[in-house]
Amino acid sequence: MTFDKKTAGGVTIEELPAEARFSLRVRDGERAAVAGALGLELTDTVGVMTSGSGRKALCLGPDEWVLSGAPGDAAAITAACAGVYDAAPHSLVEISEREIFIRASGPAVEALMATGVARDLSRIGPGQGARTVFDGTPVVLVREKTDSFRLNVWRSFAPHLLGHLFHVQKELASGL
C-alpha cells in the first residue's frame, strides 16, 4: 500500500522507499565468519544497530538480526552468505516484500510514538531499535535521530497502524 506524506501537529508521517531486507539467525561460533562475509560487524547486544559496506544489521535477539541494504544488494547479500555457509551454517531468509516502512519525524514525534508504544522511549537512543508492539501491532522500531523514528510493519497490519498514526496526528494538530 502507498500513502501520501502528511505534515501536521508537529509531526511528519511518510512512506520510505523499498529496500532489501533479510532475517539472519546465526549462533555465536559462526557469527564472526558471517559478519566477515557481509562486511559489517554483528553485535550480540539486543537493540543495537551496526552498519558497514552500505548494509545495516539490527540485533533483535541473542542470535537474530535483521539485515537491510539497497534494493539491488539482495543478490550480493545472498551470495556472500552462501559462500560461507559450509564453514558457518546459518539461516538467511529474504523478507524484503513483507513490510512497508514508515517514518515519523518532527518535534512532537515522541508524543505520537508514546500513544502506541508502552516502552520507555528515552531508553532507545539514536541508532538503536527493537522489535516491539505498537497499538497491538508487531513492529520493528528504529530511532534514526532524536526526533525521527522508523517503523517497519507487516503489510497486512499497515492500514491499522496508519489509521492510528494519522488519527493521533489530527489530535496533535487540534491541540488535544
Partner 1 sequence: MLLIHCPYCGETLPETEFAYAGEAHIARPENPSEQTDAEWVEYLFMRSNVKGVHFERWRHIHGCGRFFNAARHTVTDKFLTTYKAGEPRPDIEALTGIKAGVKEGEK
Q: Which residues bind partner 1 (CB under 8 A)?
A: 46-47, 60-62, 64, 118-119, 123, 130-133, 136, 138
Q: Which is nearer to partner 1, 47 or 106 (CB)?
A: 47
| Length of the chain in terms of residues written | 176
Residue closer to partner 1 by CB (options 103, 119) is 119
**Between 57 and 80, whose beta carbon lies closer to partner 1?**
57
Q: In angstroms, what is the minimal distance from the CB of 8 to partner 1?
A: 28
**For residues 15 and 110, which CB has a smaller minimum distance to partner 1 in the complex?**
110
- Grid cell of 58 as nine digits: 539490527
Q: Is the dihedral of CA 51, 53, 54, 55 positive or negative?
A: negative
Q: How far is the CB of 23 from partner 1 (least distance, A)?
A: 11
Least separation in angstroms between residue 131's CB and partner 1 is 6
Q: CB of residue 155 vs partner 1: minimum separation in angstroms?
A: 18
Q: Considering beta carbons, is residue 80 or 117 the nearer one to partner 1?
A: 117
| Smallest distance from partner 1 to CB 50, Å | 17
**Rounded Cα distance, 84 and 38, in Å:** 10
